[in-house]
Chain A
Amino acid sequence: MSVAVDWYVGLSAVLFSIGAAGVLLRRNALVVLLSIEIMLNAGNLALVAFSRTHAQHDGQVFAIVVMAIAASEVVVGLGIVVALSHMRRELDTDELAELHG
C-alpha cells in the first residue's frame, strides 16, 4: 500500500481536463464522443479510488452504473452520427448548428 489516493485523484483530474479539451477543441463528432468517454472514465477513476479509500463498495457500484450509462450514450450517440451521415457529407459539429436562436 504505497500509492496514496491523492495520486489517483490527481490523475483523474488530469484525464478529465484532457477530455474536456477534446470536447471543446475537436469538431469531429466521433472524436467528441471519444473525448466524452475519457471524461467519464476520469470520473470513474475518482469514484473507484475513493471506494478503495473508505473500503466501501458504493463507489464501485456507481462506477458500474456509469459504465452502463456510458454504453447507452455511445449507442445513441453513434446512432445519431450514422443517421446524420446519411443526410450530409461532413460531421463537423460546427456545421450542425440548425438549432441556433
Chain B
Amino acid sequence: MTTFAASSWNFDVPGAPVEVLLFALFAALAIFGALRVVTASDPFVSALSLLFNFVSLGALYLMLGQAFVAISQILVYAGAVVVLFLFVIAYLGDRRELAADAVRARALRPFALLGVLALMVTLVAVVITADFPKLAELHDTAAGFGFGSPQAIGETFLGTYVLAFEVTSLVLLVAAIGGIVLGLTGRARHDRLRKLMQTRSADQQKRLHESEERKLKSERGVGTT
C-alpha cells in the first residue's frame, strides 16, 4: 500500500557515542519497565516496574535539555502517582485477576493481541516514513532564559497558555474534591457530604436550631395528648 522512504532515517552514531549509549540504556529500561507493568501478575510488581519507566523517561527528558519537565516527571509521577498506587494496592490487599477462562470477554484476547501488534507496526512505520526536521539550535528566550528552564516555561505557560493553565488548575480542584467524595463511605459519607453542602451562616444555623426545637416540642406535645 505504501512504499517506505528509507532515506529519512537519521542515525548518525559516530559523533557522540556516550549519548547514544545513554539513550539505548534508558530506552531499554523504559521498555522493560513498561513490559513488566503489563505482564506482572502481582499489581505491586506492576506499580514498582512503572517506577523504572518513569525514571528513565525523566532521564531522557534531561538528555533533550528539558530540566524542568524532567524534574516534574520525577516529582509528580515517581513521587506522587506511584506512591499513591502503592498505597491503594497495599490498602486493598491481594486481589488477583480471575482465571482467564472464567471471564466474559474471553474471545477478545487473540483479537486484542493482533490489534496491538498492528498498532505498534503501524506507529513505527509512521515514524520511519516520516521526514522529521533536524534538531534546531537552542536559543535563550527574549528575556534571557535558557531553553527548558523553569523561567522560560513559566513565560510560555502564563503568557500564551494562561487559559490552559487556569483550566488545568480547575480540573485539579475538581479531581481533589472528587477524590474526597469517592473516598467517603457509609455513614461518614452521608454526614460529611451534608456538612460540605450545608455551609450555613450563623444566623441560618440559629434559625435551623430553633425550628428543630419547635419540631421536637410539638412532637412531644402530640405524644402526651
Main secondary structure of the interface of B (DSSP, over half): helix
List 23 A–B pairs whose Cβ atoms lie within 8 Å, in order of A's numbering: A4-B134, A5-B132, A6-B9, A6-B128, A13-B123, A13-B124, A15-B34, A19-B38, A22-B37, A26-B38, A31-B43, A34-B85, A48-B66, A55-B135, A55-B139, A57-B148, A57-B156, A64-B153, A80-B182, A82-B88, A85-B95, A91-B92, A94-B105
Q: How many residues of A contact B (CB 8 A)?
A: 75
Against A, the Cβ 8 Å flags (1 = close, 0 = not) of B111-137 are 011011001100110111010111111
| Pick from A3, A76, A89: contact of B182, CB under 8 Å | A76
A86 and B185 form a contact (CB under 8 A): yes
Complex Cα distance, B39 from A85, in Å, reads 23
Q: Which 9 A-B pairs have the closest CB atoms?
A: A79-B182, A72-B175, A17-B120, A13-B123, A22-B38, A4-B10, A24-B112, A55-B136, A2-B16
- Distance (whole angstroms) from the CB of A36 to the closest CB of chain B: 11
B103 and A82 form a contact (CB under 8 A): no
38-93 of chain A: CB within 8 A of chain B = 38, 41, 44-45, 48-49, 51-55, 57-58, 60-61, 63-65, 67-76, 78-83, 85-86, 89-92
B153 and A57 form a contact (CB under 8 A): yes
- Distance (whole angstroms) from the CB of B40 to the closest CB of chain A: 8
Given known contacts A60-B69, A94-B105, is B178 in contact with A76 (CB within 8 Å)? yes
Contacts of B46 in A (CB 8 A): 30-31, 34
